[in-house]
Every structure is written in structure tokens, then in C-alpha cells.
């Protein structure tokens, strides 16, 4: 028996072509698959970035609102302070004017007192009235607790005598008109 060789079907050739076709198809599809995976991954990354940016934007808005509120409060406080400063400046200016007026009046009174003092010293004819005013003033200035102090009617009489003596001294000095009493 001789063995006969039977021709083998061309399976390997078909298999090789099939493998090559599948490999070519796979090679052609692979970039699309990789592209699709990259797109999906990038979309996921974009969604994550968008979420992070949205959260950061919301936080920034919250901070901006807080800063606006703080700015408004500071502005209100500034206006109140400026109002208080203006009021205090006006009061200070008024006080300065009153002080200047009081100083001017004090200077005038001091000058009048000095003139009155000089007139009293120069005019010896009014000295008895001046001495009487001084003596009655000393009697009245004694403390109520002192045994020699004036009390009751005697004190009232001394006050009347003091007023009369002052009036007489003023008339003597020419400060009051003897006829009208003014």
C-alpha cells in the first residue's frame, strides 16, 4: 500500500489571510477605540474640572458677598465717624468762640477791676466807705460755728449795711448816679 498523499485543504492560507484581515481590521479600529477611550477620559476629566471650577466660583461668590457686606458696614461706619467728627469740630469751634469771648470779658473785667482799684486808692475821700465795706465783709465772712459770728437779725442788718455801704462807695466813686441810683 502505498500511501497516497492527499492534498490538504488550504486552511492555513485562509487562516493566515483571516488573521491578517482581522489584524488589519483591529489595527484600523484600534485608533478609534483609543480615541474613544481618550475622549471618555477627557470628558470625565473635564466634568471633574468643571465641578471643581464651579465649587471654586461658588466659594468666590460667597467670599465676594461677605466682602461686599463688610465693605458696606465699613462705609456706614466711616460715614457715622465723619458725621461725629463734623459735629465735634462744630462743638470745638463753638467752644473756642465761647472761650475767646469769655477771655475777652475776663480781660475787660480785669481792666475794670484794676481801674476801680486805682480809683479807690487815688480817691482818699471814699476810703471811709471802703473801710466800712471791708469791715462788714469781714464780720459776715466769720464762720457760723464761731461764737462771734453774726446771726439772725444782726446778720440781716449787716447785709443791709453792706449793701448800703457799697452803694455809698459806688456813688462816691462816681460809678452810680446819686440821684437816680443807677
Between residues 12 and 108, the one the model is more confident about: 108
Select from 108, 131, 151 the last residue of a domain.
108
Q: Residue 5 falls within a domain, yes or no?
A: no
Q: Which cell goes with 71?
A: 465693605
With beta carbons less than 8 A apart as the criterion, state whether 165 and 157 touch: no
Q: Considering the domain boundaries, does residue 141 fall inside one?
A: yes
d(CA 23, CA 15): 12
Whole-angstrom Cα distance, residue 145 to residue 71? Answer: 69
Nearest-angstrom CA–CA distance, 26 and 32:
10
Confidence of residue 177 (pLDDT cuts 50, 70, 90): low
* 23 within some domain: no
> CB of 166 within 8 A of CB of 132?
no
User: What mean pLDDT comes out for the span 2-6?
Assistant: 61
**pLDDT-based confidence at 122, cuts 50/70/90?**
low
Cβ 169 vs Cβ 130: under 8 Å: yes
Residue 117 lies in a domain: no
Question: pLDDT value at position 85?
Answer: 96
State the pLDDT confidence band at 46, using cuts at 50, 70 and 90. Answer: confident
Q: What is the largest CA-CA distance in the chain?
A: 190
> Taking a C-beta distance cutoff of 8 angstroms, is the pair 159, 141 a contact?
no
Which tens digit of pLDDT belongs to each residue from 56-96?
999 999 999 999 999 999 999 999 999 999 999 999 999 99
| Number of residues assigned to the chain | 182
Confidence (pLDDT) at 16: 72
Query: Both 103 and 137 in a single domain?
Result: no
Percent of the chain having pLDDT more than 90? 26
Looking at the fold, whether 99 and 60 belong to one and the same domain comes out as yes
Q: Does residue 8 belong to any structural domain of this protein?
A: no
pLDDT at 12: 53
Which of 63, 83, 108 is the last residue before a domain boundary? 108
- pLDDT digits 0-9 by tens, 139-160: 766 655 555 566 677 778 877 8
Over 90: is that where the pLDDT of 110 sits? Answer: no
42 or 139, which is more confident? Answer: 42
The C-alpha cell that represents 136 in the structure block: 462788714
* CA dihedral sign, ordered 35, 40, 44, 47: positive
> In the prediction, which pLDDT does 51 show?
93
Q: What is the pLDDT of residue 135?
A: 81
**Phi/psi at 2 (5° precision):** -95, 140
Confidence of residue 120 (pLDDT cuts 50, 70, 90): low
Question: Residue 129: which domain range?
Answer: 123-173
Tell me whether residue 155 is exposed, middle or buried, using C-beta atoms within 10 angstroms of its C-beta: 0 to 12, 13 to 18, 19 or more: middle
How many domains, in total, are found in the chain? 2
Q: pLDDT band for 176, please (50, 70, 90 cuts).
A: low
Amino acid at each position: 500500500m502505498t500511501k497516497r498523499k492527499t492534498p490538504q485543504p488550504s486552511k492555513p492560507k485562509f487562516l493566515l489571510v483571516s488573521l491578517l484581515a482581522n489584524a488589519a481590521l483591529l489595527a484600523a479600529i484600534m485608533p478609534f477605540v483609543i480615541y474613544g477611550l481618550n475622549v471618555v477620559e477627557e470628558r470625565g476629566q473635564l466634568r471633574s474640572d468643571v465641578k471643581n471650577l464651579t465649587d471654586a466660583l461658588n466659594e468666590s461668590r460667597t467670599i465676594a458677598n461677605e466682602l461686599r457686606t463688610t465693605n458696606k458696614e465699613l462705609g456706614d461706619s466711616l460715614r457715622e465717624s465723619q458725621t461725629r467728627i463734623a459735629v465735634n469740630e462744630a462743638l470745638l469751634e463753638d467752644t473756642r468762640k465761647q472761650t475767646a469771648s469769655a477771655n475777652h470779658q475776663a480781660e475787660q473785667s480785669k481792666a475794670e477791676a484794676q481801674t476801680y482799684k486805682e480809683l479807690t486808692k487815688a480817691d482818699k475821700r471814699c476810703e471811709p466807705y471802703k473801710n466800712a465795706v471791708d469791715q462788714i465783709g469781714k464780720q459776715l465772712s466769720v464762720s457760723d460755728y464761731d461764737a462771734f459770728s453774726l446771726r439772725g437779725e444782726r446778720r440781716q442788718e449787716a447785709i443791709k449795711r453792706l449793701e448800703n455801704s457799697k452803694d455809698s462807695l459806688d456813688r462816691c466813686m462816681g460809678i452810680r448816679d446819686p440821684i437816680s441810683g443807677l
